[in-house]
Amino acid sequence: MSLNSLRGSAAIVGVATFGQGEAHGFTDIEILARSARAAVADAGLKMSDIDGLCTASSSASMWAMPVVEYLGIRPRFIDSTMLGGSSFVAHLMPAIQALQSGQCNAVLVCYGSAQRTAAFGRREMVAARKFLDPQPYETPYDPMMPPSAYALAASRHMHEFGTTRRDLAEVAVAARAWAALNPEAFMREPLSIDDVLNARMISDPLSVRDCCLVTDGGGAYVLVRAERARDLQARPVYVLGNATAVWNRQISSMHDLTVTAASESGPAAFAMAGLKPSDIDVVQLYDAFTINTLLFLEDLGFCRKGEGAAFVRNGGIGPGGHLPVNTNGGGLSCVHPGMYGIFPIVEAVRQLRGECGERQVAGARTALAHGNGGMLSSQSTAILATEEAL
């Protein structure tokens, strides 16, 4: 079975989020379950219809097992591959293959985290990882991860291409402008370039406004075969392309701090989709830090390497700009519950279904959703489209 034969063979028919921001009194699995049940209902299905499951967690190595138990399902296909934040974009391909092989008929992809309000939150998780998952070339030096890793990439991009802190601030300001139009976004207050530049420094050159939020939140989507999607209640969004690439785990193992594995996953996803960057109407990127957006715009082919700064200047990726990027507000202003990768998929689907209210991109028929995991480590790209763009 060739990848091209899988183009448009599956469609996302339900999406949902829950608990974005602060979800007091909820656990990770309760947030996940609320998202999952809402996504299944959005598809017009029942939980008993779900016979495939994809999920991952940064806090549990056997996470799929309690999820199966809690949701009360007995899936015939399970994928709990953990690639960090990109996992939920990377789950698309094995889910599509399972659907096409007949192994299952409806796949639920879901995630939930209470990292902001839980007693065992992000600070404790970072400390635990030093013992449970040490990085041999970095952990002994006790860097402040992940900000220091991304600060290295930002510093190199600035040195090599003349990118400035003001250019990075453009990314944060654009994300906030989109978030102001999104009732679900955690931070919606006005944000200026000067606000970003004058904010508390976290890891030079990244200030706190260059860094993603620390929130609770969950998301889910449901995937079925294309022929079945046409009979369900929601407008289907087809998966035209998907690819994943991993070149490193540690930031110190990157051969070039300005080139990520998105430069492999992006072209492969576009090739499968039969599209090119100029064909994409709306872009959802994993913006854990402002430098991510520049790197991914370059590596995915929306501009040349080193031209990301010029691409985002003067509101280029904000409302009214030349390319709508992170229309929900992204990880910088909307939500970031440890792993953000499911939210680019959810927002892309909502844009293609025309459900985004004030932030809706008029006439959107194609979307790119991109996930990042680890320290610019795993990269996964998905190309989605409405039926008109098949």
The pLDDT tens digits of the residues spanning 337-374 come to 999 999 999 999 999 999 999 999 999 999 999 999 99
Residue 305's CB is within 10 A of a number of other CB atoms, namely 15
**Structure confidence at residue 124 as a pLDDT band (50, 70, 90):** confident
Amino acid 310: pLDDT: 98
Quickly count: other Cβ atoms within 10 Å of residue 314's Cβ. 9
Q: Is 270 exposed, middle or buried (0-12, 13-18, 19+ CB in 10 A)?
A: buried
pLDDT exceeds 80 at position 132: no
Please write the tens of the pLDDT for every residue from 275-289: 999 999 999 999 999
pTM: 0.96
Q: Percent of the chain having pLDDT more than 70?
A: 99
**Alpha helices, H only, the chain:** 28-42, 64-71, 87-90, 92-101, 122-132, 147-161, 165-179, 193-197, 226-229, 262-273, 290-299, 308-312, 330-333, 342-352
Token duo for residue 129: 């990882």
Cα-based distances in Å from 3 to 201, 268, 273, 287: 45, 10, 9, 28
Average pLDDT in the chain: 95
Choose among 193, 209, 19: nearest CA to 114: 19
**What span, in angstroms and rounded, lies between the C-alpha atoms of 16 and 2?**
31
DSSP helix/strand/coil, 247: coil
Residue 383 DSSP one-character state: E
3-state secondary structure of 177: helix
- Model confidence at 2, pLDDT cuts 50, 70, 90, reads confident
CB atoms within 10 A of CB 161: 17
